[in-house]
Amino acid sequence: MQFTSEQRLDDGVLAREFTLGEIPGTLWTPGSAAPVPLVLMAHNNGLPKADSRLVARARYTAARGYAVATIDAAGCGDRPRSAAAEQIRAELRQAVQAGRPADELDELFESPVGPLVAQAVPEWQAALDALLRLPDVGGPVGDSGGWAALGIRLAVAEPRLVAAGFFAGGYVPRAQREEARLVTVPLLFLLQWDDQGNPRRRALDLFDAFGSKEKTLHANLGGHTGTPWFELEDGCRFLDRHLK
Amino acid sequence: MQFTSEQRLDDGVLAREFTLGEIPGTLWTPGSAAPVPLVLMAHNNGLPKADSRLVARARYTAARGYAVATIDAAGCGDRPRSAAAEQIRAELRQAVQAGRPADELDELFESPVGPLVAQAVPEWQAALDALLRLPDVGGPVGDSGGWAALGIRLAVAEPRLVAAGFFAGGYVPRAQREEARLVTVPLLFLLQWDDQGNPRRRALDLFDAFGSKEKTLHANLGGHTGTPWFELEDGCRFLDRHLK
């Protein structure tokens, strides 16, 4: 892991850009020197790590006393894009905007998103290995991400993850819907009740499927990007209960 | 309103028993002299106000800086019971324990619960009138009750109520299900996901029906009486946002 830049922010949070091989990432840590628990924060289905909503959540969580880390998925953010992948993205956007029926969209989403999740997992695990070697990053490790599909796969595959916060707002591939029952860590599931791009029934079924004995659903009105501000603190309270 | 006893508790909270005509009630207030916002806290479908779960919630909320008030519904707690009402209760208990089908139980619950709600509303409004005249009780007024049916009726009928927290765990009469869309105050709805006595689909449909632009659902595992402890503080944070 190589740090390529650092910036001390107003609230004392230190933001550091890093690379791990070809993977670009960002690490935010609070002002303190002592090692703090680590929170992985992936953005939904490959949105870039520089997205303002992710950055705002990461900074808030870091200021609350956590190390927060994110990486760009392959073909996303600053990483090289293939023409084929760009073509598929364009088709997906058109299909969504054209209001194609849900089952057609499912098939369109399944082929790019499934492999994106599968490819991201070893990259996140490598990042986790490297991050836990840093002096100011301790354990335990939690997830507070906007990418439920990746979160599910990681929660099943990565024993170091002890608590998971997922956002129900992007396509979850069949394989992850089927393995949701294998997720057993304490879980907080965030749902926008009137998210036009996200079938509510499927999100509620997914919540029902999770195998965790301790699981909580928070649903709010406000549309896909309208998660109320108070959920930031609710999310941190969940992390406090399990990582501190 | 006549106070009949008072007790100063360990956390500084003052607990006072009162009567308002034939209506017995309890008022909890924090240690401070300054007027604090008022929270009405009805227990589910006429459970007594002395029930330990209600008392615990009331004390926690009062210690957080609220005046909290409850009254016993007609025929409940210390109030006189009619033989006819006791007979109906016994039949209901038997029907639930015998595992009668949901639609049969609906009809059995509808006849006692509907009138219980209707009768309770003017009593709560009279209590509200009297409570707001006390020097240490100010506004605004919120509801954080375990009796959703009463809460819905009050939220529609009583303009002084500015925020409502309901627990989805008791029979809600048809009339209240139909007027849920008229509830427009900010709302927090608490659901036990695996509450055997409470059809989940109906609770989710009720949440969907509420007319409030700002509404939040918190669902947890744990069965009817297994609401996790952290929901106490979540409930107070909701009240803070709207009453303070």
Within 8 A by CB and 6+ apart from B56, the residues are none
Q: How far away is chain B from the Cα of A75, in angstroms, using its nearest Cα?
A: 36
CA-to-CA dists, residue B143 to B153, B182, B238, angstroms: 12, 16, 11
B179 touches chain A (CB under 8 A): no
Residue B9 has pLDDT above 90, yes or no: yes
Complex ipTM tops 0.85: yes
Residue B242 has pLDDT above 90, yes or no: yes
Of these ranges, A91-100, B47-56, B205-214, the one predicted with the greatest mean pLDDT is B205-214
- Interior angle at CA B171, CA B168 and CA B114, nearest 5: 130
Within 8 A by CB and 6+ apart from A119, the residues are A73, A74
For the record, the structure tokens of B94 come out as 């038997």
User: Number of residue pairs across A and B with CB atoms under 8 Å?
Assistant: 51
- Tens of pLDDT along B131-170? 999 999 998 999 998 889 999 999 999 999 999 999 998 8
SS3 B145: strand
This prediction has a pTM of 0.94
Q: Which chain B residue lies closest to A194 (C-alpha atoms)?
A: B208
Of B213, B217, B233, the CB nearest to A217: B217
Of B204, B216, B221, the CB nearest to A215: B221
Residue B76 has pLDDT above 70, yes or no: yes
Eight-class DSSP state of B212: -
The mean pLDDT of chain A is: 92
B127-142: string of b/e by CB count within 10 Å (b at 16+)? bbebbeebeebeeebb
Nearest C-alpha neighbor of B67 from the set B144, B5, B170: B144
How far, in Å, CA of A51 to CA of A59, rounded? Answer: 12
Q: Is the peptide bond before A186 cis (omega within 30 degrees of 0)?
A: no
CA-to-CA dists, residue A168 to A97, A99, A150, A242, B60, angstroms: 20, 20, 12, 21, 32
DSSP E strands in A76-158: the ranges are 137-145
**Cβ within 8 Å, pair A233-B237:** yes
**Cβ within 8 Å, pair A216-B215:** no
B219 touches chain A (CB under 8 A): yes
How far, in Å, CA of B18 to CA of B5, rounded? Answer: 7
Residue A236 has pLDDT above 90, yes or no: yes
How far, in Å, CA of B18 to CA of B3, rounded? Answer: 4
Contacts of A219 in chain B (CB under 8 A): 207, 216-217, 219
Q: How confident is the model at residue B225 (pLDDT cuts 50, 70, 90)?
A: confident
**Beta partners for residue B27, in sequence order:** B16, B69
